[in-house]
C-alpha cells in the first residue's frame, strides 16, 4: 500500500500540469484512457474483418480474440476498482463488429467510472487479502494490460503487411 500511495502522490503532482483545479490525477487518467481507447479502436479498425481469425501461431489467440481479451480484461480491472460488475459478459463472438463494440463498451465503462472518482477516491483499497489493491492500481493494471495486448495485435497487423496506427499523446 505504501508503494501505491507514493505512486498516486507522484502522478498527482504530475497531473497538476493537466488541470489546475478539480481532480488532476483523475483528469490525467481520463485523458490517457481516452487516448488508449482511440488507439485500440484504430488498431482494431486497421485489421480487415476477414483477418480477425488470423493467429500469429496456433498457440496464440486470434486477432479478434486479442481484441475481445483487451475489452474484457479492461472492463474487469475497472469493475474491480469501481466495486461493481463488468458490463461485458462472455465474449464468444470474435468478429470485427463484435470486438469493436466490446472495446467501445469497456473503455466507455472505464472512462465514465473514472469521471465519477476523486483523486482521494483513487487511493481507496478494494478487494481482500492478497487481492487487495487501490482503485488507482486497478485502473493502472487495466491500462498497462491493454498496452501489452494491443502491442501483440500490432504485430499481427505487421504480419499481414499492415502498418499499425501511431499513438497520439
| CATH code where residue 55 lies | 1.20.120.450
Residue 164 placed within a domain = no
pLDDT, tens digit, for every residue of 106-164? 999 999 999 999 999 999 998 878 888 999 999 999 999 999 999 999 999 999 999 99
pTM: predicted TM-score of the whole model, two decimal places: 0.85
Q: Examine residue 145 and state whether it is found in any structural domain, yes or no.
A: yes
Domain enclosing residue 121, as ranges: 2-159
Please tell me the predicted confidence (pLDDT) of residue 16: 47
Please state, for a pLDDT cut of 70, what percent of the chain lies above it: 87
> Across 80-169, where does the E strand assignment appear?
125-126, 133-134
Chain CA centroid to CA 73, Å: 8
Q: Is residue 15 part of a domain?
A: yes
Would 42 be classed as within a structural domain? Answer: yes
- Residue 8 located in a structural domain: yes
Cβ(136)–Cβ(10) under 8 Å?
Answer: no
Q: Indicate whether 168 belongs to any domain.
A: no
CA 83, 86, 128, 23 dihedral sign is negative
C-beta of residue 72 within 8 angstroms of C-beta of residue 92: no
Average pLDDT over residues 19-39: 87
- pLDDT of 13 > 90? The answer is no
Q: Are 113 and 55 in contact (CB under 8 A)?
A: no
What pLDDT, in 10s, does the model give residues 88-101?
Answer: 989 999 999 999 99
Number of structural domains in the chain: 1
Quote the Cα angle for 31-36-42, to 5°.
130
Q: Is residue 28 part of a domain?
A: yes
Is residue 146 a part of any domain in this protein? yes
Amino acid at each position: 500500500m505504501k508503494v501505491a500511495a507514493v505512486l498516486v502522490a507522484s502522478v498527482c503532482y504530475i497531473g497538476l500540469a493537466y488541470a489546475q483545479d478539480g481532480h488532476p490525477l483523475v483528469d490525467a487518467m481520463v485523458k490517457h484512457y481516452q487516448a488508449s481507447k482511440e488507439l485500440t479502436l484504430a488498431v482494431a479498425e486497421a485489421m480487415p474483418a476477414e483477418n480477425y481469425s488470423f493467429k500469429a501461431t496456433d498457440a496464440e489467440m486470434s486477432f479478434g480474440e486479442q481484441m475481445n481479451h483487451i475489452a474484457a480484461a479492461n472492463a474487469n480491472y475497472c469493475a474491480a476498482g469501481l466495486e461493481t460488475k463488468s458490463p461485458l459478459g462472455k465474449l464468444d463472438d470474435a468478429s470485427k463488429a463484435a470486438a469493436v463494440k466490446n472495446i467501445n463498451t469497456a473503455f466507455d465503462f472505464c472512462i465514465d467510472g473514472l469521471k465519477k472518482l476523486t483523486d482521494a477516491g483513487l487511493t481507496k483499497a478494494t478487494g481482500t487479502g492478497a487481492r487487495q489493491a487501490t482503485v488507482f492500481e486497478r485502473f493502472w493494471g487495466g491500462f498497462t494490460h491493454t498496452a501489452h495486448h494491443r502491442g501483440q495485435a500490432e504485430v499481427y497487423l505487421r504480419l499481414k503487411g499492415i502498418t499499425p496506427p501511431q499513438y497520439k499523446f
